[in-house]
């Protein structure tokens, strides 16, 4: 035991487990909160979380716990690794305990109806908390296996960024700082949708040219959308933008990619999600994103095409045909031609 305050990680899934281990490897005492007492007891005994990260040894500095209120009472720094669909309902009842704490969201999703990002929900629940986001190309299994990895902590609160960097920076994990919380978080939420498309393309045996076209046009599309919402497009050139887009669109370890792959093999969306058995945030994001793009009048042909396949009964062939026949466009939207 150290006399340092413990750090809390909320969420017993793959990313919560990976972050908890990373913190413990850096000498932090970690309270890893999960809702399921059986899971917590099993992790305590076996030092493994087999459902989500089979074969990864859980560090002795990680203590699985199930009392959320007692956990929050002991910690100043709290990482939130809950699915987006659960974040508000899990934390609203303990809102009073979040005042003044550092809350760092690792959750990459968008709330249906409100279009709020997860750190905005945290702000809504706990206006007096200190809020940040951790996002980047961070596949949980690779983080847990100590593959060399980089991430971004984003917050208007510079001291929070420094403290998160100090807690997470280690032999295999580098943390860069950003003051653009909105842009960093939006990048993490949007790329999940394009990873579903990339998985479909892979299952259909499409070529390397096609994969590159998809990733690049996805970046153009998500940046166009982000700019319309007031975000800084330069953030999308960083780890939490193009970095995360590349890893999620090209790795079969990504759950969103896996859902897309299953769809490309002919499974229904329900069957693809059931086969996965884990969170694929892009499935929920696609609906809210399509609605928001329409409301804001942003041209997002990839989002529109995926939505048409998943929810409007269009076939892949029809959508691909429409995409390729679309009116020719400019390559990069944000190049200023003035002065040239």
Ligand X SMILES: NC(=O)c1ccc[n+]([C@@H]2O[C@H](COP(=O)([O-])OP(=O)(O)OC[C@H]3O[C@@H](n4cnc5c(N)ncnc54)[C@H](O)[C@@H]3O)[C@@H](O)[C@H]2O)c1
Q: Is 284 annotated as a binding residue?
A: no
Q: Which does 293 bind (CB under 5 to 8 A by kind): ligand X, ligand G3P, none?
A: none
Supply the angle between the helices 316-325 and 301-311 in degrees, to the nearest 10: 160
Q: Verify binding: residue 103, ligand X, rule CB under 6 A.
A: no
Q: Verify binding: residue 65, ligand X, rule CB under 6 A.
A: no
- How many residues form the binding site for ligand G3P (CB under 6 A)? 12
Which residues lie across from 269 on neighbouring strands? none
**Alpha carbons 106 and 119: distance in angstroms, whole number:** 9
Q: Which does 322 bind (CB under 5 to 8 A by kind): ligand X, ligand G3P, none?
A: none
Q: Which does 244 bind (CB under 5 to 8 A by kind): ligand G3P, ligand X, none?
A: ligand G3P
Q: Is 52 annotated as a binding residue?
A: yes
57 is catalytic: no
Smallest separation (angstroms) from ligand G3P to the CB of 95: 27
Task: List the one residue out of 112, 141, 107 whose CA is nearest residue 21.
Answer: 141
Q: Which does 124 bind (CB under 5 to 8 A by kind): ligand G3P, ligand X, none?
A: none
Angle subtended at Cα 197 by Cα 191 and Cα 201, rounded to the nearest 5 degrees: 135
CA distances from 151 to 52, 74, 168, 175 (A): 21, 26, 10, 5
Of residues 8, 9, 16, 293, which one binds ligand X by CB under 6 A?
A: 16
Angle subtended at Cα 83 by Cα 316 and Cα 197, rounded to the nearest 5 degrees: 15
**Using alpha carbons only, how large is the chain's radius of gyration in Å?**
20
Residue nearest to ligand X (CB): 13
Of residues 81, 139, 184, 231, which one binds ligand G3P by CB under 6 A?
A: 139
Under rule CB under 6 A, which residues in 255-294 are in contact with ligand X? 278-279, 281
Q: Is 290 annotated as a binding residue?
A: no
DSSP 8-class letter at 241? I
CA distances from 87 to 33, 34, 259, 292 (A): 13, 13, 22, 21
**Alpha carbons 252 and 245: distance in angstroms, whole number:** 13
**SS3 label, residue 135:** strand
Site string for ligand X, 134-173 (x = CB under 6 A): ----xxx---------------------------------
Q: Cα-Cα-Cα-Cα dihedral of 81, 87, 85, 140, to 10°? A: 0
Smallest separation (angstroms) from ligand G3P to the CB of 14: 8
Q: Is 327 annotated as a binding residue?
A: no
Contact assessment for residue 225 and residue 231, using Cβ atoms and an 8 Å cutoff = no
Using CB under 6 A as the criterion, which residues of the chain lie in contact with ligand G3P when the complex forms? 108, 137-139, 192, 195, 244, 247-248, 254-256
Query: Would you name the residues annotated as active-site residues?
Result: 191
Residues that constitute the known binding site for NADPH: 14-15, 35, 52, 108, 140, 255, 279, 281
What are the residues binding ligand X (CB under 6 A)?
11-16, 34-35, 52, 81-84, 86, 89-90, 106-109, 138-140, 278-279, 281
């Amino acid at each position: 035991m150290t006399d340092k305050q413990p750090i809390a990680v909320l969420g017993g899934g793959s990313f919560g487990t990976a972050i908890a281990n990373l913190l413990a490897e850096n000498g932090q005492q970690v309270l890893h909160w999960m809702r399921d007492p059986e899971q917590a007891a099993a992790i305590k005994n076996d030092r493994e979380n087999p459902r989500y990260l089979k074969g990864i040894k859980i560090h002795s500095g990680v203590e699985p716990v199930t009392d959320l209120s007692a956990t929050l009472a002991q910690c100043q720094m709290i990482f939130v690794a809950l699915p987006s669909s659960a974040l508000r309902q899990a934390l609203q009842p303990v809102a009073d305990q979040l005042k003044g704490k550092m809350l760092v969201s690792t959750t990459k999703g968008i709330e249906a109806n409100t279009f709020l990002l997860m750190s905005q929900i945290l702000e809504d629940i706990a206006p007096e908390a200190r809020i940040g986001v951790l996002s980047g190309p961070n596949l949980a299994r690779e983080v847990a296996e100590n593959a060399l990895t980089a991430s971004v902590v984003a917050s208007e609160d510079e001291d929070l960024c420094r403290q998160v960097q100090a807690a997470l920076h280690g032999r295999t994990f580098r943390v860069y700082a950003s003051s653009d919380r909105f842009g960093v978080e939006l990048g993490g939420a949007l790329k999940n949708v394009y990873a579903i498309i990339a998985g479909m393309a892979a299952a259909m045996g499409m070529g390397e040219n096609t994969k590159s076209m998809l990733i690049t046009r996805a970046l153009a599309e998500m940046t166009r959308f982000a700019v319309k919402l007031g975000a800084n497009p330069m953030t999308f050139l960083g780890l939490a933008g193009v970095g995360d887009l590349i890893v999620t669109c090209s790795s079969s370890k990504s759950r969103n990619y896996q859902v897309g792959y299953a769809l490309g093999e002919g499974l229904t969306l329900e069957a693809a999600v059931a086969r996965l058995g884990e969170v694929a945030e892009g499935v929920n994001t696609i609906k809210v994103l399509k609605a928001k793009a329409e409301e804001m009048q942003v041209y997002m042909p990839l989002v529109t095409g995926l939505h048409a396949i998943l929810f409007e009964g269009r076939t892949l062939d029809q959508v691909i045909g429409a995409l390729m026949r679309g009116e020719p466009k400019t390559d990069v939207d944000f190049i200023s031609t003035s002065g040239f």
